């Protein structure tokens, strides 16, 4: 593959970040309040978790297919199709109530997400970025910048026009993003098209699978999945938990806006930090930051005031981005020869972990409650992280003491 035909790494990173920002701006205008919308539609609290499962499971199922067809068609087109899927989802939310169309739209959104994220990761990995952790740090931070604006915009629109109004605004944002991304990526991705037979494709996935079992990579993958599992719980029930604590809708709207606005200056420092440290260190530090903040939040959330929750969740988000960026950066460095397959594998982690977290949360919410879910998920991440990193360190020491 001719690397000289690929646009400059800075250009790809910039385009991916802006496109991801616009995608999440359109989605986050309503997604932060989506659990409240589901409750408003008459769904029970466990059913909220099942809706998120319905959304993320298709990402797991469709991602390998997207990775395969990226070889036949320019990945840039799949990115555009993915954005169009988000637009169609917003339109479906406008015209449908709690009907089969509503549930079919969740599957559509999962497919759209697979198209967007697999294809953009393929472009980023295929660019052989000099600092992949830093570039993926920008990519993963993009939603935060969208969240700084989207909840404020969404809350004002919902207040004046209801959820139909916010879905209309989301639709127009996604259309604008599709136009921008189309022109920004007109020539990108061409070099990634390859004529690869199915046996060769299988060989590549086997090679990646063996690589993932490496004693350096496997701990990072396991830890990253545990964080994504916990994130599935937060994504499904965090807002519902705040409502259960007695927060008013205005307080929840204000929290959603301030949390992301405050994160922006920290994210700029975080991205610089990610570029200076190895992927293993980024994941290790991210795990401990995420795990400790989750446990503390779960224990003390009923006693914390607004500022306390804001501070803890800021730390929580920093840990998540550190771990996810470290994982993607490691995979990018290790499997740069197979950008399509690596993009598929990397994309699978997020929906798989989130779907499992949503499913487990839906099953257990009635048994252990909100506090049990958040404390348990944080303790699980922290304990697993300590065990795996101690085991990895011990194995590394044993390897050094073996006779040469």
Task: Classify residue 404: in a domain, yes or no.
Answer: no
Task: State whether residue 243 is helix, strand or coil.
Answer: helix
Query: Of the ranges 110-114, 193-197, 250-254, 361-365, which one carries the lowest mean pLDDT score?
Result: 193-197
Radius of gyration over alpha carbons of the chain, in Å?
A: 21
Token representation of residue 122: 């393929």
Task: Classify residue 225: in a domain, yes or no.
Answer: yes
Residue with tokens 């022109």: 183
Task: Classify residue 256: in a domain, yes or no.
Answer: yes
Max alpha carbon distance in the chain (Å)? Answer: 73
Mean pLDDT to the nearest integer, 262-267? 77
**pLDDT bracket for residue 402 (50, 70, 90):** very low
Task: Classify residue 222: in a domain, yes or no.
Answer: yes
pLDDT in tens, 104-137: 999 999 999 989 988 887 777 666 655 555 666 6
Q: Let me know how long the chain is.
A: 404
* Cβ 270 vs Cβ 322: under 8 Å: yes
* Cβ 238 vs Cβ 309: under 8 Å: no
Task: Classify residue 78: in a domain, yes or no.
Answer: yes
* Cβ 267 vs Cβ 123: under 8 Å: no
**What is the model's pTM?**
0.70
The total number of structural domains in the chain stands at: 1
Range of the domain at 81: 3-399
CA distance 14 to 8: 10
pLDDT in tens, 381-401: 888 888 877 776 665 555 444
Given a cut of 50, whether residue 5 has pLDDT beyond it is no
Give the domain CATH number at 100. 1.20.1250.20
**pLDDT bracket for residue 186 (50, 70, 90):** confident
């Amino acid at each position: 593959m001719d690397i000289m035909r690929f646009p400059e790494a800075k250009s790809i990173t910039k385009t991916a970040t802006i496109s991801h920002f616009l995608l999440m701006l359109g989605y986050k205008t309503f997604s932060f309040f989506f659990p409240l919308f589901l409750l408003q539609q008459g769904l029970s609290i466990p059913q909220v978790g099942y809706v998120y499962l319905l959304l993320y499971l298709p990402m797991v199922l469709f991602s390998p297919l997207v990775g395969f067809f990226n070889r036949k068609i320019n990945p840039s087109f799949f990115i555009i199709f993915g954005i169009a899927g988000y637009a169609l989802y917003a339109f479906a939310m406008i015209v449908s109530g709690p009907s089969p169309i509503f549930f079919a739209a969740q599957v559509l959104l999962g497919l759209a997400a697979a198209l967007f994220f697999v294809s953009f990761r393929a472009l980023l990995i295929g660019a052989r970025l000099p600092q992949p952790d830093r570039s993926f740090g920008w990519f993963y931070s993009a939603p935060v910048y969208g969240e700084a604006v989207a909840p404020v915009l969404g809350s004002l629109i919902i207040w004046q026009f209801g959820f139909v109004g916010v879905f209309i605004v989301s639709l127009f944002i996604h259309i604008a993003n599709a136009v921008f991304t189309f022109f920004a990526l007109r020539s990108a991705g061409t070099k990634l098209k390859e004529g690869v037979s199915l046996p060769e494709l299988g060989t590549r996935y086997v090679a990646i699978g063996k690589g993932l079992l490496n004693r350096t990579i496997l701990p990072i993958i396991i830890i990253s999945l545990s964080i994504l599992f916990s994130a599935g719980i937060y994504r499904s029930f965090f807002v519902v938990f705040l409502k259960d604590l007695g927060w008013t809708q205005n307080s929840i709207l204000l929290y959603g806006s301030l949390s992301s606005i405050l994160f922006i200056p920290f994210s700029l420092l975080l991205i610089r930090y990610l570029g200076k440290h190895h992927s293993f260190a980024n994941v290790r530090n991210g795990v401990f930051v995420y795990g400790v903040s989750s446990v503390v939040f779960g224990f003390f959330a009923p006693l914390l005031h607004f500022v306390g929750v804001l501070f803890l969740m800021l730390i929580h988000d920093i840990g998540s981005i550190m771990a996810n960026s470290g994982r993607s950066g490691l995979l990018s460095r290790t499997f740069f020869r197979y950008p399509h397959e690596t993009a598929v594998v990397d994309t699978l982690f997020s929906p798989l972990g989130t779907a499992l977290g949503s499913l487990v949360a839906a099953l257990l919410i009635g048994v252990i409650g909100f506090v049990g879910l958040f404390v348990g998920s944080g303790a699980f991440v922290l304990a697993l992280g300590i065990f795996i990193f101690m085991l990895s360190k011990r194995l590394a020491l044993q390897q050094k003491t073996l006779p040469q």
